[in-house]
Amino acid sequence: MILHELISYEVLRVIWWLLLGILLVGFAVMDGFDLGAMGLLRATARTDVERRVVINTVGPIWEGNQVWLILGGGAIFAAWPQLYAVSFSGFYLAMFAILAALILRPVAFKFRSKREEPGWRNAWDWVLCLTGLAPALLFGVAVGNVLLGVPFRLGDDMRIWYEGSFFGLLTPFALLCGLVSLFMLLMHGAAWLVFKTEGEVSARAARWGGIAAVLTSVLFVLAGVWIALGGVPGYAITSAIDPAGPSNPAAKTVAVTAGAWLANFGARPVLWLLPALGVLLPLLSLLGMRGRREWLALLSSGAAIACIILTVGAAMFPIILPSSLDPRVSLAVWDSSSSHMTLFIMLVCVLIFMPLILAYTSWVYRILRGKVDPVAIATGEGHSY
């Protein structure tokens, strides 16, 4: 097969770097609102009917949303195998905690409604709430650690040696990133609840969403200031590197210097738009939630999440996963991808299936449009959670 030569290796790598970002944004925006909404389950809903209203806002769709994460994992495996290998094995216990949450979440949705006892339902409500909050926090902590650099090195045979621990992940900066992630998903979840519910539940969601939106902006600025003041040194490739060369991360040199994460913004000032929107859009979402401009609230919280995630990508390019132990082997766009042919084949698959996915997902959302009706929930005949 020589078809893959149609697109150069270098261009394919950049496309897949962008797709990596798009998939992460896709996950955070799509699964983000149901994680966030469940995180607010106990705060926004008091009675059983209210709780069921909140759960049913995401009931028919959370499963599809979670596939964004699964696809993200699969796409990283296929397009950036070394990134998949280092991050998943390095963040082992954090990944386990996320998995535990993702195991308990589906069953909590399904099992909660199967019995009437308040104790049973209350217990599963707690599970839904915590399994919404924990991944939101942990994904942010992981991103924080990526910015800080991850303590791994590569052997001659590319075997990975990771020399960190779970508690080593919980540094102040990483926790700050965790909180940014947590509050941005809570904001998004609140915007979703404002969008899908009425009355008391919707009002409570707007209040909590406002708080989360302000905290998102403030903490995001704080993280930026932390980096600007040199608290988090950045990584930059210092040797010549062939963007179309073989994927061997050990063939370059990398320098660690304060402020290096801001270098891309200096070189291309237009990139400052991303962090600027990341700060402003949460506030717009807040206005939307307060003023009952539901579409505005939801779209701007989604866009805020996208801008915050893309800010991280813009800061780090072309580094993807820096190594604090041996900066030389930091994984970069140019030296940790799959082969030319695999990237091409996977791109073709994405181009075929992504439009289909978006089409039928929007069809499903259209079918399910409208507010969740508490009366229908209360009298429902087992068709809802």
Per CB under 8 A, contacts with other proteins among 263-322 are none
* CB of 29 vs other proteins, minimal distance in Å: 15
Tell whether residue 161 is a contact of other proteins (CB under 8 A).
yes
Type of residue found at 271: L
Side-chain half-sphere of 7: how many Cα atoms within 13 Å? 18
Q: Which of residues 60-79 bind other proteins (CB under 8 A)?
A: 60-64, 66-67, 69-71, 73-79
Number of residues this chain uses to bind other proteins (CB under 8 A): 72
* CB of 339 vs other proteins, minimal distance in Å: 4
The span from the CA of 384 to the CA of 379, in Å, is: 10
Please enumerate in sequence order all residues whose Cβ is within 8 A of that of 99, keeping only pairs 6 or more positions apart, or say none.
none
Tell whether residue 339 is a contact of other proteins (CB under 8 A).
yes
What is the DSSP code string of 241-298?
--TTS-S-GGGS-EEEETTGGGHHHHH-GGGGHHHHHHHHHHHHHHHHHHTT-HHHHH
Please enumerate in sequence order all residues whose Cβ is within 8 A of that of 204, keeping only pairs 6 or more positions apart, or say none.
43, 44, 45
Nearer to other proteins, 231 or 246 (CB): 246
Question: Pick from 11, 18, 93, 378: which binds other proteins (CB under 8 A)?
Answer: 93
Question: Pick from 44, 57, 87, 300: which binds other proteins (CB under 8 A)?
Answer: 87
Rg (CA), the chain: 21
* CB of 105 vs other proteins, minimal distance in Å: 7
Question: Pick from 89, 238, 253, 257: which binds other proteins (CB under 8 A)?
Answer: 89
Q: Which of residues 346-385 bind other proteins (CB under 8 A)?
A: 346, 349-350, 353-354, 357, 360-361, 364, 367-368, 381-384
Nearer to other proteins, 100 or 225 (CB): 100
Side-chain half-sphere of 304: how many Cα atoms within 13 Å? 33
Bridge partners, residue 237, by sequence: 254
Two structure tokens written together for 165: 């621990």
Site string for other proteins, 196-235 (x = CB under 8 A): ----------------------------------------
Contact region with other proteins (CB under 8 A), list: 42-50, 94-102, 236-244, 292-300: 94-102
Nearer to other proteins, 145 or 300 (CB): 145
Nearer to other proteins, 44 or 87 (CB): 87
Contact region with other proteins (CB under 8 A), list: 155-163, 168-176, 189-197, 259-267: 155-163
* CB of 236 vs other proteins, minimal distance in Å: 23
Question: Pick from 116, 119, 159, 270: which binds other proteins (CB under 8 A)?
Answer: 159
Site string for other proteins, 109-148 (x = CB under 8 A): xxx--x----------------------------------
Tell whether residue 244 is a contact of other proteins (CB under 8 A).
no
Cα dist. 194→204, 287, 363 in Å?
9, 12, 21
Torsion angles phi and psi, residue 316, rounded to 5: -90, -25
Side-chain half-sphere of 270: how many Cα atoms within 13 Å? 0
CB burial of residue 171 (10 Å; 0-12, 13-18, 19+): middle
Question: Pick from 129, 160, 255, 256: which binds other proteins (CB under 8 A)?
Answer: 160
Tell whether residue 103 is a contact of other proteins (CB under 8 A).
yes
Nearest-10 crossing angle of helices 273-290, 294-316:
160
The span from the CA of 27 to the CA of 35, in Å, is: 11
The span from the CA of 319 to the CA of 150, in Å, is: 12
Beta strands at 234-237 and 254-257: parallel, antiparallel or unpaired: antiparallel
Tell whether residue 162 is a contact of other proteins (CB under 8 A).
yes
Nearer to other proteins, 223 or 332 (CB): 332
